[in-house]
Structure 1
Amino acid sequence: MTSKAKTAEEYISQLPEDRKTPITKLHNLIVKNMPEGLEAGMGYSMLAYYVPKSIYPAGYHCKPFPPLPFINLASQKNFIALYHSGLYAKKELYDWFVEQYPKYCKYKLDMGKSCIRFKKMDDIPYDLIQELLGKMSVKEWISLYEAAIKK
């Protein structure tokens, strides 16, 4: 779903009714448990949780004017997508998540490198996502990001 929303509240208000509750719950969970230093806002037409320019002035290398993205949350046509850049950047974190997922969810994991797709709104593993949010600091994310772009 492409959105022109400027705030999380505006984004959520534009969602279909069946998506409002899970997106709101995920957004609140992320805001409450995201690594210290991140800010919440909008980015790439999604809910965004990013490293602000006050911490990382260089921004995102492809487009240096926005802040460095870390987590995004979106309502797509057939699923809710949670993007966590740390899963892409750190194999050990990705492997941990893949191993833990079946302990929290009865459905098969539908995941790309950093995108976790939730098609069953009533079976989103909120506890696992909360655990994931505590697995990487902003400092570690910046270090991994810089190492990757300098290759």
Structure 2
Amino acid sequence: MTSKATTPEEYIQKAPEERQEALKKLRKTIQQNLPKGFEEGMQYGMIGYYVPHSAYPAGYHCKPEEPLPFMSFASQKNSVNLYHSGIYANKKLHDWFVNEYPKHVKTKLDMGKSCVRFKKVENIPYGLIAELVQKMSMEEWISIYEENIKR
């Protein structure tokens, strides 16, 4: 489910009412912990955090006119999903997250390659997400992207 919202505020406002507070809190958690250089905006119908063209002019290899995506979140049909490219591209970060998750949430981790799904908003581990967001700088992400993904 992608949104036609043009701003993060509009995206949250258009989300189901029972999810809006959780989305606001998730956004605030990310904003307060996002390393220097990343920017927030709408990307691919979700609230996204990316490397701006001013820092990485080449943009995203699949769509160079788009800034290089890093992470995003979305209110999907059955869950709130957090997408984090660093988890997908960096095994050490992935393993850290998988090991830390049970310390914060009692339910089983529902995770794809870069997607963490939260079927119940009360299970969103904001503290863990704050730590995750801090773990990769913009420069580190660009380096990993160029080494592993851009090939």
Distance in structure 2 (CA, Å) of the matches to 1:131 and 1:122: 18
Equivalent residue letter for 2:5 = A
Given the two structures, how large is their TM-score scaled by the length of structure 1? 0.98
- Which residue does the alignment assign to 1:11? 11
- Which residue does the alignment assign to 2:62? 62
Q: Taking every aligned residue pair, what percent have the same amino acid on both sides?
A: 62
Structure 2: where are the runs of 5+ without partners? none
Distance in structure 2 (CA, Å) of the matches to 1:149 and 1:15: 32
- Which residue does the alignment assign to 2:146? 146
Equivalent residue letter for 2:126 = Y
Equivalent residue letter for 1:43 = Q
- TM alignment of 1:2-151, pairs within 5 A: 2-151=2-151
Structure 1: where are the runs of 5+ without partners? none
1:88 aligned counterpart, secondary structure? helix
Call closer, same or farther: CA 1:150–1:22 in 2, change over 3 Å. closer
Distance in structure 2 (CA, Å) of the matches to 1:28 and 1:2: 21
2:130 aligned counterpart, secondary structure? helix
Conserved in 1, the CA contact under 8 Å of 2:82 and 2:115? Answer: yes
Q: Cα RMSD (Å) of the superposition? A: 0.8
- Displacement over 2 Å in runs of 4+: none
